[in-house]
Structure 1
Amino acid sequence: MTPPGWHPDPGHSGIGPVQERWWDGSRWTDQLRPSPATVRRRRIRIGAGIAAGVVLLAAVGGGAYMLGDRSDDRGGSAADAPAGPPGASASPRGPGGGQGDEEDGGGQGPGQQMPSEDGYATDAASGISIPVPDGWTGQSGPIGAGLTTGEYACPGDESQTCVRGGVFSAPAQALKVEATTAKAAAEADIEANAEESYGEKVYGGITSHEELKSEAVTVAGQKGYRVRWKVVTKNGDDGYVESLAFPSPRSADMLVVVRSGFDVHDKAPKLSVLDDITEGIKKAASAGSGRTT
């Protein structure tokens, strides 16, 4: 007997992306989602799908420009984000919507709502909630979560919107980080994080970097590791980038990566804010309303 859960859609025509359909133990429901294998094959730059939609958060400078549909899930203390996605509002390039399977940490069936808490952005797949500081915008999602603050026109492409500070999480596998320890994952991810955050497309590329931190850190009760660089760019502001990795508090076999980028600018948040955010990351609640207000 087929157990309840997500299974390949028996009605799939073979044309287009592979989908999975929810089997409730006795019948096929009308609940569909993209196959997780299909999602993993698509390139995710820094963020991941943010809530139903899905939004791709791509690092540009201290934070991100956003593509595609937006989430209504916001941290309770954050300011409202613009109605439309800033910057490159071209067709969405993020992974398809739908909730992760148990391997990804999602494991939610129809009728179950993604946990969300006031004042936090929740990454359901990673099993974490990230505190949203005052004046920041937070977005929760079934795969990934993000915080941003301080929007401005990107220096290398003013049609894009950059932000002064950005913090984004995703399962390490979603970011194609194959390392199996927190230290190795953080060390492997920092260069990609820097290039995505302050790379050639918007900042003309990175001319040099200085390592500021490479140390063990405890996050959400887990033994993690972080690497922090200061990068010098050809155009626009220089920046700080950090890659933080730690085991998911929901599944010890899953590593979570948190990528951060802060501009070196008097309007950017201080690095102490990044430390406060890291200290405030916690295990996500097991249930919630699915929306913060």
Structure 2
Amino acid sequence: MPPYPAAPPPGAGGRGRRIALAVTAAVVVLAVVGGFLLLQEDGDSSAERASSTPSTAPGKPGQERPAPGQSQPPGGPDAPDGGGGGGEDGGPQQEIPTEDGFATDLASGISIPVPDGWSGQSGPVGAGVSTGEHPCPGNPDESCVRGGVNSVPAIALEIKATTAKAAAEADIKKNAEESYGGESYGEISSHEELKSEAVTVAGKKGYLVRWKVVTGKGDDGYVQSLAFPSPAPGAQNMLIIVRSGFDINDKAPKLPVMDEITGGIKVAAGGGGAGAGEKV
């Protein structure tokens, strides 16, 4: 599964994502997101300027942050709710508000539903849900998951697109490669586009692209990149990427579950937008 907020992603879905999460990467991304929000508060809401701010974002977020298939939360190894590790001064990190049955991405202002039998991880930057942890087929020393979904601000993935459609289209190939490519699943030999359509998520107009990919080792998979504007106050021009990845296997969740999770994403409690805690 993709490497975002983890084991519970991104990342966003698929399989061979490493189980290690660099806490420093999350701190850097949080600083970038914070800078973005400050721009909005200063009255400069142009998407063009926003897309140029993340010059300090991680060069390869997919490798530094756990994706849907990871097992470490965005806040660090000892942070079941994304709050472990402490701040730069050694003090406790900001507490992440959580809701039963949801994983919360504080920076993006959204909550992702956690299906029965799945694990969820909330975080200051990114959130993820996953199920079916198992040794990766190409590298048993790494852990993969049968199904995973994770979120992260688009700027953390260095996606410069300013529309939801362009962002989803820009991310899908990277999502597929980071989820099902590499040594964990072998190279992707081919893909088929299953969906490319406009959707409404958390009250915002977004866009998703879904592929079926054929891998060199182990199961093939479904990957999806979903993009939409953040519903958080002051962040209307910040795009969110939600990556999903499901193995094609009897032990993996069925494809309709991906649609259910996508449709269940909502504004985080207290996050403003379409009404805190209200499903849309």
Q: What TM-score results when the alignment is normalised by the length of structure 2? A: 0.70
Q: State whether residues 197 and 207 of structure 2, in contact with CA within 8 Å, keep that contact through their aligned partners in structure 1.
A: yes
Change (3 A) 1:34 1:282: closer
Does residue 173 of structure 1 match 2:158? Answer: no
Q: Offset at 1:114?
A: 2.4
Does residue 40 of structure 1 match 2:24? Answer: no
Write the letter of the residue equivalent to 2:230: S
Q: CA RMSD in A?
A: 2.7
C-alpha distance in structure 1 between counterparts of 2:123 and 2:97, whole Å: 9
Aligned to 2:144: 162
Write the letter of the residue equivalent to 2:225: S
Q: Offset at 1:42?
A: 4.8
Write the letter of the residue equivalent to 1:280: G
Does residue 231 of structure 1 match 2:213? Answer: yes
Does residue 69 of structure 1 match 2:77? Answer: yes
Query: Which deviates more from structure 2 when the two are superposed, residues 258-267 or residues 195-204?
Result: 195-204
Fraction of identical pairs, as percent? 63
Name the structure with the higher helix share: 2
C-alpha distance in structure 1 between counterparts of 2:87 and 2:158, whole Å: 20
Aligned to 1:5: none
Q: Offset at 1:111?
A: 8.8
Change (3 A) 1:211 1:254: same
5+ residue gaps, structure 1: 1-16, 21-32, 49-55, 75-95, 100-109, 288-293
CA offsets per residue over residues 147-203 of structure 1, 9 Å max, x none? 110011101100011100010100000111111000000000000000000002211
Q: State whether residues 180 and 188 of structure 2, in contact with CA within 8 Å, keep that contact through their aligned partners in structure 1.
A: yes
Does residue 286 of structure 1 match 2:262? Answer: no
Write the letter of the residue equivalent to 2:60: R
Q: State whether residues 138 and 186 of structure 2, in contact with CA within 8 Å, keep that contact through their aligned partners in structure 1.
A: yes
Q: State whether residues 98 and 142 of structure 1, in contact with CA within 8 Å, keep that contact through their aligned partners in structure 2.
A: no
Q: Offset at 1:210?
A: 0.1
Q: Offset at 1:204?
A: 1.1
Identify which of 33, 55, 66 aligns with 1:57: 66
Write the letter of the residue equivalent to 2:81: D
C-alpha distance in structure 2 between counterparts of 1:187 and 1:235, whole Å: 26
Identify which of 176, 189, 205 aligns with 1:194: 176
C-alpha distance in structure 1 between counterparts of 2:268 and 2:55, whole Å: 26
Q: Which structure has more RCO (C-alpha within 8 Å, separation ≥ 6)?
A: 2
Query: Which deviates more from structure 2 when the two are superposed, residues 187-196 or residues 246-255?
Result: 246-255
Change (3 A) 1:130 1:58: closer
Q: Offset at 1:265?
A: 0.3
Q: State whether residues 34 and 97 of structure 1, in contact with CA within 8 Å, keep that contact through their aligned partners in structure 2.
A: no
Q: Superposed, which structure 2 residues align to 1:120-269 within 5 Å?
A: 120-250=102-232, 251-269=235-253
Name the structure with the higher strand share: 1
Q: Which has the larger radius of gyration?
A: 1
Write the letter of the residue equivalent to 1:64: Q
Aligned to 1:52: none
Q: What TM-score results when the alignment is normalised by the length of structure 1? A: 0.67
Q: State whether residues 139 and 145 of structure 1, in contact with CA within 8 Å, keep that contact through their aligned partners in structure 2.
A: yes
C-alpha distance in structure 2 between counterparts of 1:112 and 1:200, whole Å: 35
5+ residue gaps, structure 2: 1-23, 33-53, 272-280
C-alpha distance in structure 2 between counterparts of 1:259 and 1:40, whole Å: 19
Change (3 A) 1:210 1:166: same
